[in-house]
Amino acid sequence: MTTSRGARLVRQVGAGVGEAVLATVVAVVVVAVGLVAFSLVQWPAFNSSNVVRALTTVGQVGAAALIAGSIALLRLRRSRWLAKPLSWAGISAFVTVTLGMPLAATKLYLFGISVDQEFRTEYLTRLTDSAALRDMTYADLPPFYPAGWFWVGGRVANVLGMDGWEVFKPYAIGSIAVAAVVSLVLWTQLIRADWAVGVTSAVTAVAVTYAAPEAYGAVIAILLPPVLVMAWGALYRPAELTGGAAKTGGGDSESGGRTAGGWGAVLGTGLFLGFAAACYTLYFAFAVFTVVLMAVVAAGFNVRARYAARTPRRIAAHTGASHAPVGSAGRAIGAPLLRLIVMGVIAALIALPVFLPFLARMLDRPKLQSGGAFHYLPEAGSELPLPMAHFSLLGALCLIGTIWLVMRASSSRRAQSLGLGVIAVYLWSLLSMLATAAGSTLLSFRLEPVLLVLLAAAGGFGFVEGARAVYQALNEPARFRWVVIVLATVGALAYCQDIPHVLAPEITTAYTDTDGDGRRADQRDPSAVRHYHNIDDALRAQTGREPSETVVLTGDTTFLAYYPYFGFQSMTSHYANPLADYADRSAAIEQWSEKDTPDELLDALAAAPWRAPDAFLFRRSGDEYTLRLAADVYPNDPNVRRYTVAFPVALFDDPRFTVTDIGPFTLVVVNR
């Protein structure tokens, strides 16, 4: 039995991995062809013309036709060999058109190089310069933020011969498309293939709308719904405790010996948790929280079933027998606990290479400046998200999903797993609000995309099952199926063509920010970023070193996003490495600005406990050179206070400094 189960596990995992690889290849080809085709035409800017909006709609209709064709083939049980690639092409084409077409006239991704996208671009630039795991800003420090998504992006940039900032857009779009088709492969292993295509399409559309700006989070959010169904199938297997047939990995029907006893689901969940840990700490923590919640609920259900099964009257009422075999209380609790531990071990093995350098360095620095990353509480984080109460197409889908989750909670394993995921979001939100009393948060507002994709998946199931129930209640009228198809098509197209409107601020910023080539895609005058190329040339010439060997102190930290120089100080404490002593560095910078002579300044630089700047990049202001720093002022919203530090010009009037004016900047290189 063990041998046969192991063989089934190998076949199950092998088939899933093989299909995922094929789906990935299709998605990559579709994205590459689409983005190259878009780049061959000189499009008008999104924020000044409706041309790209119109073409985006046309592309979305074409992608929807591919998806609808694949669903039709699957329902008719024809040309299955064609239906799957068609579905992969349709979903990846939808992602490519919806994100790529509105951004066709710019090299920047959503949000350009502004706000959080600045530090993400900086990280990608760092890992494009070298495959070594290094902090995005600080020299000689291992990374604190998970490097997985950015490391792969850096390798992609190297293969394509592109800069980190330039590869961000195609890589982000490509990774979301790949996540979508892999999610489809997972769904196909769990439910009917035609349902899988429909639900994946709904989840992908919602994720593109609300998670795409944070691309490395979007890939996890898209995969989360099928993974939770899979995890529940691994953790809650009541039939095994009573000696009955094993439940499938996530479906609602018995499948007897055709499964691998849930161990394929254990492996898949562990792999996902490891992937999430390597890419995004918050989503990883939430996924672990949810899976642990599932294990606790599964153990509770098992214990309850054990005691219920010992009562002959209850057994007879449910099975017609006078007794039923049932596992011990230890097994009832131990079975999900064992599977949970195995998931954790698999996840740890995958994530450990990413976190090991930081953990090893942390042993030498037990006292960290931590907590800054959690010091943010916008209005959205102070209230529970209730999208099902909004009057919109998405609100209606979420409402249908909520109704379906409640109605099917006792009869559908899909509803149970997705419902536990939704409950986990609300529990996390309440805990985050409670944490404010302790001076921190759990950043619950960033889980809103997760809630939306979970409810979108539930809404997809609810729509299909609800339509079928109405169809039967109306005595199966001949035209009813066409009514459902038309309603679904109209609703889907109405939602999808509105996505560029929802993302309009993010798209507009991609056109108004100045890119690494010194151009603005909306054809307006570029910002001071256009001088960065000259600054880079001057730094290389005056230091004689590569960017990765040079530390620059500047308040214009976007320079570090375009060029792989190390920074002496990060843009804010919220993105700073806890090992970097952010507050102490800021205090040191202020003290340096108060020195009276070049000798005093050079002595202070030499005495610094960190690697001192090799160069300063200032803004000029009369007889002073200035740079802007940031301070954490949580619990205020905004949570960052910007302030200016001014250095007297005379402080650098010494042959040991090389001073160069470049546009509005002054570059000061320390001659060593």
Lowest mean pLDDT: which of 26-30, 290-294, 386-390, 619-623?
619-623
List 616's β-bridge partners, or say none. 553, 668
pLDDT attached to residue 63? 97
pLDDT of 156 above 60: yes
The C-alpha atoms of residue 559 and residue 562 are separated, in whole angstroms, by 5
Report how far apart, in Å, the C-alpha atoms of 606 and of each of 389, 601, 614 are: 60, 9, 11
pLDDT attached to residue 639? 84
Question: For the CA atoms of the chain, what is the radius of gyration?
Answer: 28
Find, among 218, 221, 272, 224, the residue nearest to 109 by Cα.
Answer: 218
Beta carbons of 93 and 203 less than 8 angstroms apart = no
The C-alpha atoms of residue 101 and residue 467 are separated, in whole angstroms, by 34
CA 527 vs. chain centroid, Å, equals 30
Q: What percent of the chain has pLDDT over 70?
A: 92
Q: Binning pLDDT at 50, 70 and 90, where does residue 372 land? A: confident
pLDDT attached to residue 329? 64
* DSSP 3-state of 390: coil
The C-alpha atoms of residue 469 and residue 484 are separated, in whole angstroms, by 12
The C-alpha atoms of residue 207 and residue 450 are separated, in whole angstroms, by 8
Greatest mean pLDDT among 11-25, 233-247, 619-633: 619-633
Phi, psi dihedrals of residue 340, rounded to the nearest 5°: -65, -40
* DSSP 3-state of 657: strand
Specify the higher pLDDT residue, 115 or 110.
Answer: 110
* DSSP 3-state of 281: helix
Beta carbons of 572 and 630 less than 8 angstroms apart = yes
* DSSP 3-state of 405: helix
CA-angle at 30, arms to 24 and 33, nearest 5°: 135
- Count CA atoms closer than 13 A to 559's CA, side-chain side: 30
The C-alpha atoms of residue 39 and residue 37 are separated, in whole angstroms, by 5
Find, among 211, 140, 131, 146, the residue nearest to 173 by Cα.
Answer: 211
Beta carbons of 229 and 414 less than 8 angstroms apart = yes
Beta carbons of 133 and 141 less than 8 angstroms apart = no
**What is the DSSP track for 493-554?**
HHHHTTHHHHTHHHHHHHHHSB-TTS-BTTSSPP-GGGGHHHHHHHHHHHH-S-GGG-EEEE
Report how far apart, in Å, the C-alpha atoms of 83 and of each of 11, 197, 198, 511 are: 22, 10, 13, 38
Report how far apart, in Å, the C-alpha atoms of 452 and of each of 385, 418, 442, 620 are: 9, 11, 18, 47
Q: Binning pLDDT at 50, 70 and 90, where does residue 8 land? A: confident
Beta carbons of 655 and 649 less than 8 angstroms apart = no
The CB density around residue 556, as the number of other CB atoms within 10 Å, is 20
Lowest mean pLDDT: which of 127-136, 307-316, 419-428?
307-316
Per-residue pLDDT averaged across 489-502, rounded? 95
Specify the higher pLDDT residue, 325 or 66.
Answer: 66
Residue 344 CB partners (closer than 8 Å, separation 6+) = 270, 273
Q: Binning pLDDT at 50, 70 and 90, where does residue 321 land? A: very low
Give me the torsion for CA of 163, 165, 170, 176, rounded to 10°: 130
Beta carbons of 145 and 123 less than 8 angstroms apart = yes
Q: Could you report the per-residue pLDDT of 56-65, keeping only the tens digit for each? A: 999 999 999 9
The CB density around residue 308, as the number of other CB atoms within 10 Å, is 13
- What b/e sequence results for 641-660 when a residue is b if at least 16 CB atoms lie within 10 Å of its CB, and e otherwise? eeeebbbebebbeeeebbeb
pLDDT attached to residue 44? 92
Phi, psi dihedrals of residue 327, rounded to the nearest 5°: -75, 170
The C-alpha atoms of residue 515 and residue 106 are separated, in whole angstroms, by 8
pLDDT of 275 above 80: yes
pLDDT attached to residue 375? 86
pLDDT of 286 above 80: yes
Find, among 356, 351, 355, 361, the residue nearest to 140 by Cα.
Answer: 361
pLDDT attached to residue 241? 63
- Count CA atoms closer than 13 A to 122's CA, side-chain side: 26
pLDDT of 344 above 50: yes
pLDDT attached to residue 455? 98
pLDDT attached to residue 328? 62
Report how far apart, in Å, the C-alpha atoms of 267 and of each of 22, 225, 230, 237, 261 are: 20, 16, 10, 16, 12
Q: Characterize the bridge pairing of strands 657-662 and 640-648.
A: unpaired
The C-alpha atoms of residue 672 and residue 543 are separated, in whole angstroms, by 8
pLDDT attached to residue 315? 46
* DSSP 3-state of 574: helix
Beta carbons of 391 and 408 less than 8 angstroms apart = no
Q: How many residues does the chain have?
A: 672
pLDDT of 318 above 50: no
Output the average pLDDT for the chain.
90
pLDDT attached to residue 373? 80
Q: Binning pLDDT at 50, 70 and 90, where does residue 158 land? A: very high
Find, among 209, 152, 151, the residue nearest to 505 by Cα.
Answer: 209
CA-angle at 305, arms to 300 and 308, nearest 5°: 125
The C-alpha atoms of residue 439 and residue 437 are separated, in whole angstroms, by 6
77: DSSP letter: T
Q: Could you report the per-residue pLDDT of 220-272, keeping only the tens digit for each? A: 999 999 999 999 999 998 877 655 544 444 445 433 445 667 888 999 999 99
pLDDT of 319 above 50: no
Q: Could you report the per-residue pLDDT of 562-604, keeping only the tens digit for each? A: 999 999 999 888 889 999 999 999 999 999 999 999 999 999 9
The C-alpha atoms of residue 312 and residue 553 are separated, in whole angstroms, by 76
The C-alpha atoms of residue 572 and residue 633 are separated, in whole angstroms, by 11
CA 573 vs. chain centroid, Å, equals 21
pLDDT attached to residue 246? 41
Specify the higher pLDDT residue, 595 or 7.
Answer: 595
pLDDT of 2 above 70: no
The CB density around residue 10, as the number of other CB atoms within 10 Å, is 12
pLDDT attached to residue 323? 47
Alpha helix (H) residue ranges in 212-262 = 215-235, 238-241
CA-angle at 136, arms to 96 and 616, nearest 5°: 120
pLDDT attached to residue 12? 76
Lowest mean pLDDT: which of 70-84, 145-159, 357-371, 588-602?
357-371
The C-alpha atoms of residue 386 and residue 19 are separated, in whole angstroms, by 36
Which helix (H) or strand (E) covers residue 551, if one does?
Answer: strand 551-554
pLDDT attached to residue 422? 98
The C-alpha atoms of residue 8 and residue 264 are separated, in whole angstroms, by 9
Confidence (pTM): 0.94
Lowest mean pLDDT: which of 160-164, 364-368, 652-656?
364-368
| Residue 256 backbone class (left: φ over 0; alpha: ψ -120 to 50; beta: rest) | left
Q: Is the peptide bond before 578 cis (omega within 30 degrees of 0)?
A: no
Alpha helix (H) residue ranges in 257-328 = 263-279, 281-309, 312-319
97: DSSP letter: I
Record the tokens describing residue 428, joined without a space.
Answer: 């996390």
The C-alpha atoms of residue 557 and residue 554 are separated, in whole angstroms, by 6
Q: Binning pLDDT at 50, 70 and 90, where does residue 159 land? A: very high
* DSSP 3-state of 555: coil
